[in-house]
Copies of this chain bind each other. A is one copy, B any other.
Amino acid sequence: MLNSQIKPISQQPAATTGPVSDWLGETRSSQIPVGLGFRTTSERAVSAHEHVYLEGDAQTHMYQVLEGVIGVYKLLTDGRRQIVTFHYPGELIGLDQTGYFIDSAEALCSARIRCIPIDAVDTLIATEPGFGQAMMRLLSTELADTREQLLSLGRKSAMEKLATFMVRIVMRNKRNGIDSNSIHLPMTRSEIADYLGLTVETVSRNFTKLKESTVIRLCSNSVVEVLDVSRLEAIADGSA
């Protein structure tokens, strides 16, 4: 309790792999150091289309994706949906603590998550130097990603949005050591549309266009091979 400071920002090391995973383990619960408050965490299987939480729920837990992909979205009263982010294994959901969830989260496919009571997070913040700092950096990264998406939604064409979406998946794969140009899309066209602020039809038409210009190849509905990454990048940032 006495040594519970969060490290000064200027002394933070450059982010490479998520530092929070040092406390939370990569993907397996066996990696959680006991004695840090994690005796209270639990795993939960979430089937496809099942919700993790709903907008307005009290934020009693933070979640870490262990398997599968979780979509976080907001709704308008008439049903229009905006997916604000997709969360992949290893990532934390609910870092932003405002008391109540401001959006809903549902599994896009069969998934597994670790549920971390806020109390346990508090304990880590209070007892583990650097944990608060790590959370702050993750939160900063999430804000940065969201602002990047604002640029996409506000200023890019349908084609540029789709290209940007896929480029970012390729980059994330590369960061995670997956050096393949085949990308897996666990979400439906409709979910991609709701993430990019488009309709299913527009998404589909632009997949077709990219296919016809041999920038990508559709191996199946959920597997895309990027044939020309640099061209896809050029399309993504509007310099094509």
Contacts and interface: CB of A to CB of B under 8 A. Distances in A.
A139 B136 contact: yes
A147 B77 contact: no
A82 interface: yes
B76 A238 contact: yes
Q: From A14, A84, A155, name the one whose CB has the most chain B CB atoms within 10 angstroms.
A: A155
Say which size band chain A's interface belongs to: 35 or more
A75 to B, nearest CB: 8
Interface stretch (A26-34, A117-125, A216-224): A117-125
Q: How many copies does the complex hold?
A: 2
Contacts of A144: 96, 98, 102
A153 interface: yes
Interface string A133-164: 00111011111101111110111100000000
Interface string A1-29: 11111101111101100000000000000
Interface in A197-240: 197, 237-239
A15 B147 CA distance: 24
A137 B97 contact: yes
Contacts of A2: 2-3
Nearest to A141: B98
Contact of A9 (B6, B78, B125, B148): B125
A35 interface: no
Interface of A: 1-6, 8-12, 14-15, 74, 76-78, 80-82, 84, 95-99, 102-103, 118-119, 121-123, 125-126, 132, 135-137, 139-144, 146-151, 153-156, 194, 196-197, 237-239
26 contacts: A5-B5, A6-B125, A8-B119, A8-B121, A9-B121, A9-B125, A76-B156, A76-B238, A77-B238, A77-B239, A80-B155, A81-B155, A82-B151, A82-B155, A95-B140, A96-B140, A97-B136, A97-B140, A98-B137, A103-B147, A132-B132, A132-B136, A136-B136, A143-B146, A154-B194, A154-B197
Given A10-B119, A74-B147, A84-B147, 13 more contacts: A2-B3, A5-B5, A6-B126, A10-B118, A82-B151, A84-B150, A96-B143, A96-B144, A98-B141, A102-B148, A139-B143, A154-B194, A154-B196
